[in-house]
């Protein structure tokens, strides 16, 4: 089958098309004929093997390849059609349109991928294209995870720092769905995009530091691996929650100190990306309560351009690879 692969760490140019062995499902697995796959910042970080948060670089390198990648086909968030099932599979049938996560198996930059049926995959909403569906799981699952941890309530004031990315744009929509007043922080060129998604207040991070806003926030979600911890904590109400999507070691230690000496909370917890959460997102998408946000689509042959687009940080929503078999 055709796939986009890489055999060394480096810039986008290390990606190239190749013919690789077509996978066949083992017992308990399904094979998906892929139609679309999101190109994520995580894909770019794996390709370079350089991460915004440094502390998990060593364990990831041990798992994914010390000198070169063990899994040469990137892509963990996909949409496609089940075209073969392994022995014992009961939850899927050939012809099912699905979307979700391939976890650390990756493989989304190929024509087919095989995964256990227990992975986070659910039926694709009929009102979404494959490209739109593939754009949802990363941002949607992480956003739902954080908004659930925050226990957002109607009327609360929520701040999302770095709201223009995949996770932030879904966190904004979910917070609004829960009845919150949402302030977003990002680059100026993303203002109209975020306001169209429902933002009540937009702050350009270059002009208006969020911690100078007069009223404190009940919830702050920080998507950016920079910034002073104290600025976020001081911007909270006395019982506010600060959620860190990219915590540094110092942030984790400071979170313990906050818990010991105040009623505020600083929370770091990686998303479980559960089937139940993806089903909830699917219901909201099907009813139009939230919507997918696709910046641009590229063909598999344009994977280098797709990575460049993601790394430029100018995108408004998700960048998606659309396979030749797609609609």
Residue-wise over 233-268: b if at least 16 C-beta within 10 A, else e? bebbeeebbbbbbebbeebeebbeebeeeeebbbbe
| Phi, psi (rounded to 5 degrees) for 87 | -60, 135
SS (H, E, C) 209-237: CHHHCCCCEEEEEECCCCCCHHHHHHCEE
Selection from 262, 214, 254, 256 nearest residue 238 by Cα = 262
| pLDDT tens, N- to C-terminus, the chain (327 residues) | 999 999 999 999 999 999 999 999 999 999 999 999 999 998 998 998 876 555 555 556 556 666 678 889 999 999 999 999 999 999 999 999 999 999 989 999 999 999 999 999 999 999 999 999 999 999 999 999 999 999 999 999 999 999 998 899 999 999 999 999 999 999 999 999 999 999 999 999 888 888 888 689 999 999 887 777 788 888 899 999 999 877 666 666 766 676 677 777 877 777 788 999 999 999 999 999 999 999 999 999 999 999 999 998 888 989 999 997 554
Residue 58 has a CB neighbour count (10 Å cut-off) of: 10
**Is the Cβ–Cβ distance between 122 and 254 less than 8 Å?**
no
Separation between Cα atoms, residue 286 and residue 42, nearest integer Å: 27
**Is the Cβ–Cβ distance between 313 and 17 less than 8 Å?**
no
Selection from 155, 158, 237 nearest residue 194 by Cα = 158
How far is the CA of 158 from the CAs of 173, 175, 256, 317, in angstroms? 12, 8, 22, 20
Look at strands 29-39 and 112-116 and give their pairing. Answer: antiparallel
Domains of the chain: 2-136+292-322 (3.90.180.10), 138-267 (3.40.50.720)
**Is the Cβ–Cβ distance between 243 and 221 less than 8 Å?**
yes
How far is the CA of 45 from the CAs of 49, 50, 96, 113, 310, in angstroms? 5, 5, 32, 21, 11
**Is the Cβ–Cβ distance between 212 and 154 less than 8 Å?**
no
pLDDT in the model for residue 327: 47
pLDDT in the model for residue 51: 66
Separation between Cα atoms, residue 282 and residue 79, nearest integer Å: 13
Separation between Cα atoms, residue 1 and residue 64, nearest integer Å: 22
pLDDT in the model for residue 231: 85
Structure tokens at 216: 């404190």
Which distant-in-sequence residues (6+ apart) come within 8 Å of 204 by Cβ? 185, 186, 187, 188, 191
**pTM greater than the 0.85 cutoff:** yes
**Is the Cβ–Cβ distance between 138 and 38 less than 8 Å?**
yes
Q: Which residues pair with 265 in a beta bridge?
A: 241
Q: Which residues pair with 160 in a beta bridge?
A: 184, 221
Q: Which residues pair with 30 in a beta bridge?
A: 85, 115
Structure tokens at 292: 């997918």
Give 155's DSSP letter: T
Task: Classify the phi-psi angles of 187: left when phi > 0, otherwise alpha if psi is within -120 to 50, otherwise beta.
Answer: beta
Residues across the chain: 327
Task: For residue range 190-205, list pLDDT tens digits in order.
Answer: 999 999 999 999 999 8
């Amino acid at each position: 089958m055709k796939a986009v692969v890489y055999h060394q760490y480096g810039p986008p140019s290390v990606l190239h098309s190749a013919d690789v062995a077509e996978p066949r499902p083992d017992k308990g697995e399904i094979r998906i004929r892929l139609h679309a796959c999101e190109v994520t910042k995580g894909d770019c970080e794996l390709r370079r093997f350089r991460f915004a948060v440094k502390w998990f670089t060593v364990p990831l390198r041990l798992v994914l390849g010390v000198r070169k990648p063990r899994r040469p086909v990137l892509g963990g968030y996909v949409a496609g059609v089940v075209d073969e099932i392994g022995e014992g599979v009961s939850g899927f049938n050939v012809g099912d349109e699905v979307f979700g996560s391939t976890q650390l198996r990756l493989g989304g930059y190929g024509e087919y991928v095989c995964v256990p049926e227990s992975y986070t995959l659910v039926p694709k909403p009929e009102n979404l294209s494959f490209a739109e569906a593939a754009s949802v799981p990363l941002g949607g699952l992480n956003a739902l995870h954080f908004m659930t941890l925050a226990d957002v309530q109607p009327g609360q004031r929520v701040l999302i720092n770095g709201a223009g990315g995949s996770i932030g744009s879904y966190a904004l929509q979910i917070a609004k769905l829960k009845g919150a007043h949402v302030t977003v922080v990002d680059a100026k060129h993303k203002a109209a995009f975020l306001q169209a998604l429902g933002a009540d207040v937009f702050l350009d991070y270059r002009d208006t530091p969020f911690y100078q806003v007069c009223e404190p926030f009940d919830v702050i979600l920080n998507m950016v691996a920079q910034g002073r911890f104290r600025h976020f904590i001081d911007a909270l109400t006395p019982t506010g929650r600060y959620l860190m999507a990219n915590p540094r070691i110092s942030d984790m230690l400071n979170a313990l100190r906050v818990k010991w000496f105040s009623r505020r909370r600083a929370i770091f917890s990686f998303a479980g990306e559960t089937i139940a959460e993806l089903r909830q997102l699917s219901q909201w998408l099907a009813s139009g309560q939230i919507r997918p946000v696709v910046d641009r689509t590229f063909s598999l042959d344009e994977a280098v351009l797709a990575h460049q687009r993601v790394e430029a940080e100018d995108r408004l929503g998700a960048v998606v690879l659309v396979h030749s078999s797609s609609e």
